[in-house]
Structure 1
């Protein structure tokens, strides 16, 4: 008796892709943008209130606690600190909207110039960390999620848990002790000379970048892995495999978009953290970025600099989360097809 040929599965039908109207997308984008601007407005109030609530002021910090009361009051008047707080807030907000953050109380330089000098350094450090973080988190998360429950998945997930359990300053100190003090391969500090940029000596970026990546990698990797593992068990993916779709195409077309959805908001927070100035890493390695500027300004009660840096960090965070909302909105139809 001749063996019966195996039936060939029918081609996988393509599910209809919902196409929202252009006007609906515009309204959605306008609502999200309005919400982001409202959050920024609330942040300006909180930043101003926090600097007002801090003990002392710039006049006392500049002249010292033993200075005569008359000299302190004269300096307060010259700096405008004797005006009512609501008026000073409105005045600061009006100038900040135009990009004018005033002058530093410490040295009289425009705050915009001080931030521009440091923001470029923080931007280079953050982009370098992102260039390492995103491929690692997405690649390892996809690899582990497609092997959920196997040895490779357990190794990757366990390593991620270990990284998440170690504080950032401990990781940085260990890296410094091993690769700088022990092996002498990399510089222990990331100080820049006059007129020198971080890209002039890329080796000084390695240890801060590794420290930052160790902080952000664990959570992003685990979220991608969880999303990929769930998507890999979905009916659409199972049907695609039964119909002979190549595994690489299944992973890229069906699994990865669905797996990225849960990780995008957390990745956005990582972007804000990295680009807004990572305080511990910059302080530990002496890197001249925004975080170091914020520490110095806080110690000297240089309120205009503190307010500007805090507002810039909040703006980066809000923009990153708005971009994450857009990405999740675009990925949602693809995720819906894998459920």
Structure 2
């Protein structure tokens, strides 16, 4: 066997066992690497005023305050609400609402029959047990999220601290010219920066818009605003996870006008204007005016790569989806430029 074949055989075996050994940490390491690439420009800014260790720690703290703290706040508020739920009062309101709804639907015999069939399976005891089960699931999710977050932050610090040396090493071992390798990294990093800034601005805009609305109605605008902003990242349903329960709650309190205002405001202004029009426009503005990069990827493709990433990988799909899409497109362009370019044939005189 030729030495080169033997080397690649050993390398494949070693690579397999490396993946097997670090399987539980691969997603955390991937997320940390993508986040590092996304905001490494911030690390370069901090490096002007402090050493490598302090700038790496500061970048981790900044990212922690923007992404992780709001999620823990919502988990805490949700758990606290379920734990302190007055079960007797909840059962009374639920049974009253159920009887009022069935009484109202008696005007429509067909709907009334379906309503009796559906609501017969719902009771306050069932919902209470479901709420307790949900609180248990939230607790388990919180523990897993805490452990995953801790590992991501550790890997993120290491990526910041050793990032430049690792980047130079990757450029040296890739079988491309350095200008081509830098072009690949520049394109992927540019996409990630656009996605991060767009997502942050979109979350802030939608959260502030909904929080400002419910604040006028005496509701917990801070919790609902944060919850609405984060839920806007979820494909298809988005903010409906927040405004629908809030509208139902106001409708139950016999504030039908407030419920209608919340529903129309959320669907037309937030969902229609901010999410469908302003967000794609923001991607183009941030790409050209803020970051001043000329990415050859359509804004709509970036938008749908975010949706696909979230639906496949969950919350962190915001970064994974655009990365996979950008990396694939950049490789296609590299193949087209390097491997399919044909030398021009000399034109023969007639």
Q: TM-score range by the shorter chain?
A: under 0.3
After TM superposition, the score normalised by the length of structure 1 is: 0.24
TM value normalised by structure 2: 0.24
Q: Which has the higher helix share?
A: 2
